[in-house]
Amino acid sequence: MAEFLDQDIKFLPGVGPKRAELLFKELQIRTFSDLIYYFPYKYIDRTKIYRIAEIHAQMPYIQIQGKITSFEIAGTGPKERLTAQFADASGVIELVWFKGVKWQKDNLKTNCEYIVFGKPSVFGGRVSVVHPDIELADDQLLKPTGLFQGYYITSGNMKQTYVNSKTINKLQLILGNLVKGKIPETLPAYLVSRLKLMPLEKALITIHQPENPNDLKNATFRLKFEELFFIQLKILSVKSNREKKFKGFRFEKVGFNFNTFYSQYLPFPLTGAQMKVIKEIRRDVNREIQMNRLLQGDVGSGKTLVALMCMLIAIDNGFQCAMMAPTEILAQQHFRSINRMLNGMEVSISLLTGSTKKSERVKIAEGLENSSIQILIGTHALIEDNVIFSNLGFVVIDEQHRFGVAQRAKLWQKNESIPPHVLVMTATPIPRTLAMTVYGDLDVSVIDELPPGRKPIQTMHYFENRRAQVYNFLRQQIEKGTQVYIVYPLISESEAIDLKNLEEGYRHITEAFPDVKVSMVHGKMKPAIKDAAMQAFKNGETQIMVATTVIEVGVDVPNASVMVIESAERFGLSQLHQLRGRVGRVAEQSYCILMSSYKIGPESRLRLDTMVRTNDGFEIAEVDMKLRGPGDLEGTAQSGIGFDLKIANLGKDGEILQLARNVATDILNNDATLQSDENGVLRKNLQKIKSTEFDWSSIS
């Protein structure tokens, strides 16, 4: 009876219109269903009653039973406080309130038996409990039946009106008593039996009022599995439907261009990971199903080479290719590097960006129409309506998360009947669980090896007092002919201050290195000035570039092998890793120096320690997700999938997610449209899931 759970929360005893309005405004709880799916964030053991004589300030939480013997009100106005002497047979402890003094004084009585629960602390030199939970010992009404009391996140506005975690707990108990026999099962009986899952109704009641640790564990597993299972079922269903709906060009042969390049022009031997990825793509483009593949690999791992070799397969089969990059600098970089790799081969390549002259645009339009242009590299200029391909068969999108969904869709739609194969690339390593969710409907390839001869970047962390030592090191490196990046943070909330710090840093560097040419780059510069400064650094005309993160994805300077990151504690792990990837492009040893103040918190220290310890982008991404959560990671906001997970955690529940994906895959392999009677409940619940934009599937 789903209708029962659809009732307005104001009809639940203990709520009413005013509380209902507050619950919706602060927690988006509108219905019975919203409340029962609002889960505790932690549990406290309420089984043990301590003697007051046992209590000390280091204890996390305590529960005591006794009587209030006296009250005292001290202070006035905002500094007013209420102190109660609370006693049992073993001793006396103070209870203290700084808020709601009048309400507590009017409602609490001396010589009544109370149960007090709270966190002991030291106040006025004595152990006390500040703002405790307190209730009559013989008040059995709405007392939790389980051993553990759930704690719920509430807002400051709610606490001001005395709607706190304890209130939510009581409402959950009321609702738990009302819903018995009224929550339909959402999974097929065969699945519940096979996986030994707790029934849904029992799991939803138990998660709020667990009677023992084992029940809590089973209820949590059931609810996490279901949440992740339906996400995977939705993603994989969309992928299956896409593959039926959209046919793809079939590239049957690996011909002259690919073979010539492989045998005569390959800049360095392919790594095992690169060969594996090329084989995966070759298999995809020979199936008459449109390919949608995500290629992950750290900066410098050779993604561009893989993309080029796959474009040569498309050219050998008579098709044109497009490669779209998020910035003009990156598009030019791809154009130069691909031109260099293909130098001597008769493959026609053109570059189209916002600054391409009109006369050149006319030539490009003619070349696309008569197929004389085989590879077009560019920025979002590629998706303009007047850019018309005659036979576009293969599309590469670099750093795809920097493009909006609509922009990617436009490039995908450049062929009217059959869409081109799509390879999206990212140098931002994506944790495995996130890849299965955000990009779960794409096939994923990973390049996890660096080209031969590359040395791991040596990363060091120094505090401010070691700056002179760092500068001596930079001088030694510059004398060897090396170039240096010095990167300052630019955070939108403090942009003006950060730009001032950057400019001061630039002046400081020019004074500290008077014989060295220094350039400065930041995003607020006019494009022509910024590009000129970057080009000067690339050409070796300047030895130090002082910059903000505009260089995170951009100019490739193989001779720059030292990266100094100022105020490194202010950067996220993903950004630190991306910045570090600007060096280490050649066989010489490269260095990344993280500078920070002494005053850094535990999370900042973990980030910096992780950078020093490992160069593995995927390990770094896993740490990043555990620190920040999946919704905050770069690129997920544009992926089209919201992370409104109510109980599962992608940073911690990888095994459950893998099980959910495996189960969903098995079910769809046997019943692709969920038409069987036993899967009817899945079909029904899948249709109910809010239609989020899982259509990454159809537009890459």
* Contact call for residues 336 and 346 (beta carbons, < 8 A): no
CA distance 193 to 190: 5
Measured in whole angstroms, how far is the alpha carbon of residue 372 from the centre of its chain?
42
Is pLDDT above 60 for 631? no
* Contact call for residues 405 and 693 (beta carbons, < 8 A): yes
CA distance 543 to 540: 6
3-state secondary structure of 391: coil
* Comparison of pLDDT for 411 and 214, the residue scoring more: 214
Q: Are residues 562 and 497 in the same domain?
A: yes
Q: Are residues 99 and 14 in the same domain?
A: no
Tell the burial category of 367 from Cβ atoms under 10 Å away from its Cβ (0-12, 13-18, 19+): middle
CA distance 477 to 556: 19
Place 695 in a pLDDT band, splitting at 50, 70 and 90.
very low
Q: Are residues 468 and 570 in the same domain?
A: yes
Q: Is residue 224 part of a domain?
A: no
Q: Where are the alpha helices (DSSP H) in 403-549?
A: 405-412, 432-438, 467-479, 495-512, 527-538
Q: What is the dihedral angle through the alpha carbons of 674, 675, 679, 685, rounded to the nearest 10 degrees?
A: 70
Read off φ and ψ for residue 151, nearest 5 degrees.
-115, 135
* Comparison of pLDDT for 634 and 454, the residue scoring more: 454
Q: Where are the alpha helices (DSSP H) in 561-653?
A: 573-580, 602-613, 617-628
3-state secondary structure of 692: coil
State the DSSP string of 638-661.
Answer: GSS-----SS--TTT-HHHHHHHH
* Comparison of pLDDT for 125 and 340, the residue scoring more: 340
- Residue 526's CB is within 10 A of a number of other CB atoms, namely 8
Tokens of 524: 């607020």
Beta strand 62-74 with 81-88 is antiparallel
Which residue has 């189209």 as its token pair?
Answer: 352
Q: Are residues 574 and 470 in the same domain?
A: yes
The per-residue pLDDT of the chain, averaged, comes to: 85
Summarize the confidence of residues 165-176 as an average pLDDT: 91
CA distance 444 to 423: 10
Q: Is residue 647 part of a domain?
A: no
Is pLDDT above 80 for 177? yes
Q: Which domain-ending residue is among 614, 645, 680?
A: 614
State the DSSP string of 189-247.
Answer: HHHHHHTTPPPHHHHHHHTTS-SSHHHHHHHHHHHHHHHHHHHHHHHHHHHHHHHHH-B
- Residue 268's CB is within 10 A of a number of other CB atoms, namely 12
* pLDDT per position as a tens digit, 18-48: 999 999 999 999 999 999 999 998 887 777 7
Q: Are residues 291 and 333 in the same domain?
A: yes
Place 243 in a pLDDT band, splitting at 50, 70 and 90.
confident
Which residue has 């799916």 as its token pair?
Answer: 37
CA distance 379 to 366: 19
- Give the range among 102-116, 436-450, 521-535, 539-553 with minimum mean pLDDT: 436-450
Tokens of 391: 């036979």
Place 140 in a pLDDT band, splitting at 50, 70 and 90.
very low
Contacts of 503 (CB under 8 A, 6+ apart): 520
Q: Are residues 125 and 159 in the same domain?
A: no
Tokens of 351: 């570059």
Q: Tell me which residue range forms the domain holding 116.
A: 47-143
CA distances from 333 to 180, 325, 330, 415 (A): 64, 10, 5, 27
Place 117 in a pLDDT band, splitting at 50, 70 and 90.
confident
Among 630, 648, 626, 644, which Cα is nearest to 220's?
648
* Contact call for residues 219 and 202 (beta carbons, < 8 A): yes
Q: Is residue 10 part of a domain?
A: yes
- Residue 380's CB is within 10 A of a number of other CB atoms, namely 20
CA distance 459 to 615: 9
pTM above 0.75, yes or no: no
* Comparison of pLDDT for 611 and 495, the residue scoring more: 611
Is pLDDT above 60 for 14? yes
CA distance 698 to 413: 10
* Contact call for residues 630 and 650 (beta carbons, < 8 A): yes
Is pLDDT above 50 for 647? yes
Angle (CA) 652-552-538 rounded to 5° is: 155
CA distance 116 to 114: 6
pLDDT of residue 473: 95
Tell me the one-letter amino acid at 484. V
CA distance 387 to 661: 40
Bridge partners of 421, per DSSP, are: 394
Q: Is residue 339 part of a domain?
A: yes
* Contact call for residues 79 and 92 (beta carbons, < 8 A): no
Tell the burial category of 669 from Cβ atoms under 10 Å away from its Cβ (0-12, 13-18, 19+): exposed
Place 491 in a pLDDT band, splitting at 50, 70 and 90.
low
* Comparison of pLDDT for 599 and 414, the residue scoring more: 599
State the DSSP string of 99-121.
Answer: SSHHHHHHH--TT-EEEEEE-EE
* pLDDT per position as a tens digit, 52-90: 999 988 888 888 999 999 998 888 877 888 889 999 999
* Comparison of pLDDT for 350 and 690, the residue scoring more: 350
pLDDT of residue 640: 40
Q: Is residue 418 part of a domain?
A: yes
CATH of the domain at 506: 3.40.50.300
Q: Which domain-ending residue is among 184, 208, 235?
A: 184
What's the structural domain count of the chain? 4
Measured in whole angstroms, how far is the alpha carbon of residue 355 from the centre of its chain?
34
Tokens of 375: 């590879």
CA atoms within 13 A on the CB side of 215: 16
Q: Is residue 155 part of a domain?
A: yes
CA distances from 585 to 135, 326, 455, 662 (A): 66, 21, 9, 39
Q: Is residue 275 part of a domain?
A: yes
Q: Are residues 171 and 318 in the same domain?
A: no
Q: Are residues 340 and 353 in the same domain?
A: yes
Q: Is residue 180 part of a domain?
A: yes
Is pLDDT above 60 for 572? yes
Max Cα distance, the chain (Å): 97
pLDDT of residue 641: 44
* Contact call for residues 224 and 37 (beta carbons, < 8 A): no
Q: Are residues 36 and 135 in the same domain?
A: no
pLDDT of residue 690: 52
Tokens of 390: 């005659």
> Over the range 270-302, which residues count as b (16 or more CB within 10 Å of their CB) and which as e?
bbebbebbbeebeebbbeebbbbbbbbbbbbbb
Beta strand 560-565 with 483-487 is parallel
Place 238 in a pLDDT band, splitting at 50, 70 and 90.
confident
CA distance 212 to 595: 49
* pLDDT per position as a tens digit, 468-477: 999 999 999 9
pLDDT of residue 147: 63
Q: Are residues 137 and 6 in the same domain?
A: no
Summarize the confidence of residues 211-237 as an average pLDDT: 92
CATH of the domain at 136: 2.40.50.140
Is pLDDT above 70 for 326? yes
3-state secondary structure of 698: helix
* pLDDT per position as a tens digit, 395-429: 999 876 666 656 666 776 777 678 899 998 987 77
Tell me the one-letter amino acid at 128. S
Structure letter (DSSP) for residue 493:
G
pLDDT of residue 106: 85
Tell me the one-letter amino acid at 472. N
Q: Are residues 390 and 473 in the same domain?
A: no
Q: Which domain-ending residue is among 415, 447, 479?
A: 447
Beta strand 120-123 with 126-130 is antiparallel
Angle (CA) 394-398-403 rounded to 5° is: 105
* Contact call for residues 396 and 307 (beta carbons, < 8 A): yes
Q: Are residues 54 and 20 in the same domain?
A: no
pLDDT of residue 696: 41
Tokens of 389: 């391909």
Among 234, 314, 582, 574, which Cα is nearest to 431's?
574
Contacts of 514 (CB under 8 A, 6+ apart): none
